[in-house]
Homo-oligomer: A and B are copies of this chain.
Amino acid sequence: MQAEIIAVGTEILLGEIVNTNAQYVAKLLARFGIPSFYQTVVGDNPARLTETLALEEKRSDLIFLIGGLGPTPDDLTKQTLAAHLGRKLVTDQAALDKLVAWQKQINKVMPANNLAQAYYLEGGQVLTNEIGLAIGCYLVDADHHYFILPGPPREMLPMVDHQVEAKLAALTGSKQVIVSKMLRFFGIGESLLADKLADLIASQQNPTIATYIKGFEIGVRITARAGNVDTGNTLIAPVAAKVQSRLAGFYTGEGEERNLVQEVVDQLKQQHLTVTAAESLTAGEFQSELASVSGASNIFKGGFVTYSDAVKTQLLRIPAEVIAKHTVVSAPVAELMAEKSREILGADFGLGFTGVAGPDELEGQPVGTVFIALAQRDQPTKVQEFHLAGQRNEIRGRAVYSGFKLLYDRLLK
């Protein structure tokens, strides 16, 4: 079985709306392991839609037609498919009753073309519309399966969730399930990461391996098809172990919907520890990220944004002579920022961030040079020097994540 998605709508071709429906259906197909090699957008034009249908029927057997079911004269999707397949359109009585009741409610005369919303293709099955008036349709014609769905996402989504999904499960026999695991990494570029997994990726069959940029992290998703979830997990386990051991040192946790910041907050919560920071180039972004996770108040009470040298001295009591001697972009200053912030607020951890976000170099240090220090109660302070790539705010964001990585590694020790 192989699928294609056709979105019908001149408004997509004009850039007025973005084709989120295709993404929604594509995700569903991926979950069922149904391959889909093309997506097409075509306008509300019967000739071009017919041409597209003819092409797709040659290469795919499962065709999604989304949009063009509405009441306006340019909504012609069902009519076009009916003509193409030589089938009649018939009226669904329940949909017609709903239309009539709705017209009564708004006290208006029904335009004739409104009736088209209650049409479906003869021999097909009605897909009811929970939200709107235009019904969908599922039709098997010779070797092809067609799903005709309404264009407005708030109508299409429930139709997919409550009706299409069950039909796909039946169609695919659903002897197989799709199981996947996402491992996340930070501090390595996507191409270098792909290099390290090149032989695994090249030889992949089941499970498959794919890499994704997820914010500042890179996700490696391992996906298996199997007769049941347990078998799927058994297939994934050795591959996941290999991936993890090859990328040891860059690992930032597991889970598609999670990120390194959440891992750190969870670890701090579990270990009943608190954190603070003094931020120069990142100027509050590390602390703001902490607070982006709900429940952060258990592990974070506050901290400092010390952008200028003078404020570093005023709020953190870092001696001006230290800054003068080492320059502000230096390991000793980062160290004092971490230690003093921790001491002043009595936190278990303190982080210090200083560096050159750009666009210009600072104190003779090139753009991207960043020192991050991690102070811990009763432990020696660790300072690490980074050379980060990108523009100003990419460097700042990477610095923040590098700080989270330092803390994460310490928390897992």
Contacts and interface: CB of A to CB of B under 8 A. Distances in A.
A293 to B, nearest CB: 9
Interface string A295-331: 0110011111111101110110000000000000000
A400 to B, nearest CB: 9
A137 B38 CA distance: 24
B302 A315 contact: yes
A315 B25 CA distance: 50
A411 interface: no
A143 interface: no
A26 interface: yes
Given A26-B15, A37-B43, A302-B311, A113 B291 contact: no
Nearest to A55: B55
A392 B294 contact: yes
A152 to B, nearest CB: 8
Given A287-B283, A292-B396, A194 B72 contact: yes
A89 interface: no
B39 A38 contact: no
Contacts of A284: 279, 283-288, 291, 303, 305
Most B CB atoms within 10 A — which of A212, A345, A389?
A: A389
A48 B38 contact: yes
Number of copies: 2
Which of A111, A113, A291 counts the most B-chain CB atoms under 10 A from its CB?
A291
Q: Chain A interface residue count: which class?
A: 35 or more
Contacts of A114: 191
A206 interface: no
A142 interface: no
Contact of A191 (B13, B111, B285): B111
Contacts of A357: 291, 294
Interface in A6-51: 10-20, 22-30, 36-43, 45, 48
19 contacts: A11-B212, A12-B22, A13-B26, A14-B26, A15-B26, A19-B23, A37-B45, A71-B190, A72-B191, A102-B389, A106-B387, A108-B189, A111-B194, A111-B195, A283-B291, A284-B285, A285-B288, A292-B393, A311-B345
Interface of A: 10-20, 22-30, 36-43, 45, 48, 52, 55, 70-73, 102, 105-108, 111, 113-114, 131, 189-192, 194-195, 198, 210-212, 279, 281-288, 290-292, 294, 296-297, 300-308, 310-312, 314-315, 345, 357-359, 366-368, 387-389, 391-393, 396
Given A19-B22, A37-B43, 15 more contacts: A13-B38, A16-B212, A37-B45, A72-B194, A73-B194, A105-B389, A111-B192, A111-B194, A114-B191, A283-B291, A285-B288, A296-B307, A301-B310, A302-B304, A302-B312
